[in-house]
Amino acid sequence: MALQYQIAGGTARELEASVEDAIRGGVLGPGEALPTVRGLASHLGLSPATVAAAYRELRRRGLVSGAGRAGTRVRAAPPIAARPPLGVPPGVRDLRTGGPDPALLPSLPPLPPSGRLYGEPPVAPALGRVARERLAADGIDTGHIAVVGGALDGVERVLGAHLRPGDVVAVEDPGYGAVLDLVVALGLEVAPLRVDDRGALPDGLARALDLGARAAVLTPRAQNPTGAAWDAARAAELSAVLRRHPEALAIEDDHAGPAAGAPALTVCRGLDTWATVRSVSKWLGPDLRVAVLAGDVATVSRVEGRQALGAGWVSRLLQDAVAHLWDDPATGALLERAAQTYARRRRALLAALASQGMAATGSSGLTTWVPVRDEHSVVEGLVERGWAVTPGERFRVASPPGIRIAFATLVEAEAPELASALADCVRRRPVRTG
């Protein structure tokens, strides 16, 4: 195989570096297979144990996945800076990102003349006040809060505060690809949790915790990619499971906030070890890298302590901007309009898909999951018809295949055209021309 001639080295560390260079340079792309252990060992004149050790370290770092007869492949999003992803061809509608509609975001307020100085508290007083008011109104304990650089930053810091490499984390499946990649990059093991339209299934969570999972990352609403949202009954069931496992860490990733179009519910109240992370990216703007993290005293203390040794704090300028917007009645009215607009677009897309006989999920948020048999043929077929969506492998561990449609900018009138194109791809109809 030609690839093995581009991997070089005489030690496990050198082989690891060579594969990493190949991924970074685009020689090895997402999903591509590495040479077999015995094949590469024979080519380089090394022992299979040396090659196996290199592959094992690459798996531990989250650059590759798989082993044995299934082969070893580059992960969909290895945690190194590689060549940027390809854009969509001209004229193709991009429904991949999962971000908000820019037209439904507020304008940023003028920045104050100065920000935080050394020695001041890490949480800006204005943001602390409004965050406590809003989170407490949703039933979240705000006795201890921190400010982090977005939802994933918060999830990473909480996992790092409690877990060690090799620990098992229960993660939704299908679930947000960046969370799956983050867990692997931290050297943690994934226990997949099945999801329905009301979120993670309680029986699966109970089974994962019974088998030794140390933590669970759960999405209360706007679950990405399925659009699932808890109702009161599901939240109560999940909470009951967590209460039976007081040693487990529970993390709520409330990444969409008020834009989700579903009420905020929590399963963490009364738990010993927990964190709720509410990001502002989907409703105030992606470039506002701010999320409020509420949790038990030990978790918040560890997060802030580790943060102080690195980034130090989240910019006071950003915190004050978020506080101003979150507390502004005009922003509140815009958020309500945004949530209603996303809900109309979601309903239009689901109805159009149903009219084509296609099942799809989505009761909240900005994304819809459509089960399909062959993800890549459907994705390629849609591009030929003018639509770019994301193959489901980016979000799956053990769940069946599907595609994710990020519909935030998809106006209602476009939904029937997209649904018809998708039905053509699923049924393998030829592209219509003329």
Per-residue pLDDT of the chain (434 residues; tens, 9 = 90+): 455 558 889 999 999 999 999 888 888 888 888 998 988 998 899 999 999 999 989 988 888 887 666 688 888 778 877 656 567 889 999 999 889 999 999 998 887 777 777 888 899 999 999 999 999 999 999 999 999 999 999 999 999 999 998 999 999 999 999 999 899 889 899 999 999 999 999 999 999 999 999 999 999 999 999 999 999 999 999 999 999 999 999 999 999 999 999 999 999 999 999 999 999 999 999 999 999 999 999 999 999 999 999 889 999 999 999 999 999 999 999 999 999 999 999 999 999 999 999 999 999 999 999 999 999 999 999 999 999 999 998 899 999 999 999 999 999 999 999 999 999 999 887 776 55
* Alpha-carbon gap, residue 193 to 316, rounded angstroms: 37
Query: Which residue is associated with the tokens 């039905």?
Result: 423
Mark out the alpha helices in 147-245 (DSSP H runs): 151-162, 177-185, 202-210, 232-243
Q: Residues near 381 by Cβ (< 8 Å), separated by ≥ 6? A: 421, 424, 425, 431
Amino acid found at 424: D
> Which tokens go with 8?
């070089």
CA 181 to chain centre: 9
User: Is-contact 371 365, C-beta < 8 A?
Assistant: no
Per-position b or e across 221-246, b if 16+ CB within 10 A of its CB: bbbbbbbbbbeeebbebbbebbeebe
Domains observed in the chain = 2-74 (1.10.10.10), 93-101+331-426 (3.90.1150.10), 112-328 (3.40.640.10)
**Residues 386 and 424 sit within 8 Å (Cβ to Cβ):** no
Asked if 314 contacts 122 with a C-beta cutoff of 8 angstroms, the reply is yes
Q: Which helix (H) or strand (E) holds 355?
A: helix 329-355
How would you classify the pairing of strands 168-173 and 189-196? parallel
Q: Report the alpha-carbon distance of residue 252 to residue 250 in Å, rounded.
A: 7
